[in-house]
Chains A and B, each alone.
Chain A
Amino acid sequence: MRIKMKHRLFLLIMLPFLATLGFVANLLLNKYHSLKSIEHIVELYQISDDISRLIKFVQLDKARATLLIKEIVNPTVFSDFEKLDEELQEAIGNIINRIKNYPSDTLIISSLNHTLTELNHIVEKHKLIENKQIDLAQISQYYESINDQLIASFSYIVNDIQNIALTQLLETTPLSQSIFLRFIMIHLRVDTNFARTLVYVTLSENGQISTSEYNQFIELRGRQQAYKQIYFEFAPDREDELFNATTRAPASMIVSMESLIYKSGPNVNIAIDPLMWWRNMSAYIDSLRAVEKQLYYKSIEESHDLIASIKSNILWTIIIIGLALGFAIYQILRSFRWLSNQLQHETKILTESVQEILVTVHDISNTTAQTANAINQTTNTIEELKNTGQDVSNKAKNASEILANTMDVLQQSEHAIDETIQGMNRIQDDMQTIHLAIIKLNEHNQLIGDIINTVNDLAEQSHLLAVNAAIEATRAEAQGKGFVVVAQEMHSLAEQSKQATIQIRKILHDIQNSMTAAVQATGQGAQTVIQGAHHSAQTNQSIRALAQKIASVVKAAEQIVTSSQKQLLGTQQVTRAMESIQKATDQQVNNMHQIEGRIANLNEVGQTLRDIIKEYRY
């Protein structure tokens, strides 16, 4: 009976010990697997952070690019951005549908719906911009507000996704100290490397965090702030109570927690209050240690008796140990199966989510590539614009030079016309001189006519004298015959003189006619010269007016040259801006490729995790 009692006692002692051992082993295994899954989740967080940063970057660059392109007014590129909006809307709709499939917080769906409405609002605004109902100042203001709203909503979504992952993790896996520590670190935005080293240090020591390290960490992050945030998130009703309890009287709280643990046992509701659970667990483990120590000392006292009884009843002991081991192994295997199933389920969800994220990121990468392509096309168009502006500037310069040459020619023409007017004036003076000379000649001609008249009178008188002589000769009869001959000769001379005067008069008459014609011609010539001088003066005035107009045209051409040069400078600035946008977009494409690579790695990690879990499946 004693042996039996011993055996029973042994069983009574060993079974909880063995069960504790099994529980601890189970816990260690859980820790290992959960640590692996947590590594992936941490990577997921990093990726989500990257995505959020990327989204911010995309939104900001999109706003800048849209503004720039709107200034350039290229409707095709702008329609590409409208496509981008639609794709973003589709992507967010897909995320909403995907999240609806999983049991999760409805806040995220509402926030996503809010984001979707924001995007619809953006699309409406884009339509307004396209219809030119908003000016550029409103557009810039509006895009700043869009950026803020989008950044806020996306950061909110990322936080919600992180919260969902954490709550899912808390619901599915048993919470360990390391998880809790990571949870705290993630929520307090602690550096992950620091957190990782801290976790590894604590795990390598005892598998739990010491109070001093915890206090050090809390001191590092700001004790009150951390406490307030933690308590506000997990126990808003008991915030002040727990704050006061943890900061001022930790010992009394541990005592109360121990009593709580003894009352409720290890099946405390860990999902509700992780801090409480951790406190409970640490208190529980401490109590277990105390019990273990007590039992250890008791076993040392009774070891001799026990060794003797073991020796005598080794077979029973082996059987009982085997049974106990078998029971413990059965329990372990059961827990393993449960853990494996849960992990498989979660890993499946995780892998699917990662694949969907991969697809989404691929889509975003394609969209970014399209954007880069559009920006490239825009850069080419601006380059063509720059070339055209250069051509315009060159042509304006040529036109200005030609106009300057024309101006010189006009000035020469003006000088020539001045000389022509002076020549006309000289001709007019000459014509006046000729006119005066002809008038004088006419006067001389009239004098000659008078002389001819006198000669004619003389001839007439001679003729009459000859006639009288002839009469006298006939009166003298025979004695006057010789005198008759003289009288006849005299008569013929007078007749010749008369004929000569008639001829001279005729010639003078012809000369007078010619002079009259010459006077008229000189008068007409003078008139023509006056008209020519008048026309030349008019031409000179016209040329001066033309020169003034051409001077104004030259000024306009010079202004065109300066304007085209300014335009060229502006186009060069736009080209530089587009080049910087292109660089940024290329960098963004590279970032997207890197993210795609990282998500592919995550997918591979998920596959590896699934393979690992498959190995534990039985």
Chain B
Amino acid sequence: MNISQSDHFNTPNHTNTEDKQDQLTNIDKIELPKISVLVFFLDQVAYAIETKYIKSVSIFTNRTTLHKLPIFCQGIMHVHRKIILLIDLKCFFGISELNEPSPHVIILNHPNVGMAISSDEIKGVIEISYHKIDTQPLPNKIDKQFIKGTGSDSIIVLDGKHLIEQLGNYFICA
């Protein structure tokens, strides 16, 4: 099961130069595509992930630690009568060791595996213009394939699709 790519992530295919010029001259008039992202904080760093890859947000209540889980997994918890794996994203990115669970959890939208990211604070849902995402590589240890770019206010926009696929691969394999 592959997740289908959204049209917003693909550039329009225009071959005609005139059309290109018209489009360039009317660029300000064109309503640029926006993505809706959920902004959250981990260690004072703002991250954002597209809302279509998120099922819901919730408060961390209780967890159960299990053996043989991946190293970045903090345990399991049940939300709305469903078992969900609690993932420490920083540990997954290799930034730090496994931390204690944060007070909020962001439940990701995976068709087979219920998983959630532990978050210090959930800021809210905002809309970001697609073209305003800076794709320049960031000077950190995070793998570049998980990052789409940097939004306004230094929000790191994560690649939700890739992230969910990689995480799903881990657990499906396991």
Contacts and interface: CB of A to CB of B under 8 A. Distances in A.
Interface of A: 460-461, 463-464, 466-468, 470-471, 474-475, 484, 487, 491
Contacts of B38: 467, 471
Which of B36, B59, B122, B125 has most chain A Cβ within 10 Å? B125
B139 interface: no
Which of A461, A467, A474, A484 has most chain B Cβ within 10 Å? A467
Contacts of B55: 471
Interface in B54-92: 54-59
5 contacts: A461-B59, A471-B56, A474-B36, A474-B125, A475-B52
Nearest to A457: B59
A456 to B, nearest CB: 11
Which 7 A-B pairs give the minimum distances between C-beta atoms? A470-B125, A474-B36, A474-B51, A468-B56, A471-B51, A467-B57, A464-B57
B104 interface: yes
Interface of B: 36, 38, 51-52, 54-59, 104, 122, 124-125
Contacts of A461: 59
A470 B37 CA distance: 10
Nearest to B125: A470
Contacts of B125: 467, 470-471, 474, 484, 487
Nearest to B50: A474
Contacts of B124: 463, 466-467, 470, 491
A457 to B, nearest CB: 8
A143 B36 CA distance: 144
Given A471-B38, A471-B56, A471-B57, A464 B122 contact: yes
Contacts of B52: 474-475
Given A471-B125, A487-B125, A491-B124, A464 B51 contact: no
A464 B125 CA distance: 10
Given A460-B59, A464-B59, A470 B51 contact: yes
A475 B125 CA distance: 12
A474 B128 CA distance: 13
Nearest to A471: B51
A466 B57 CA distance: 10
A464 B58 CA distance: 6
A484 B127 CA distance: 11
Given A467-B38, A467-B125, A484-B125, 14 more contacts: A463-B124, A464-B58, A464-B122, A466-B124, A467-B122, A470-B36, A471-B38, A471-B51, A471-B54, A471-B55, A471-B125, A475-B51, A487-B125, A491-B124
Contacts of A491: 124
A461 B60 CA distance: 11
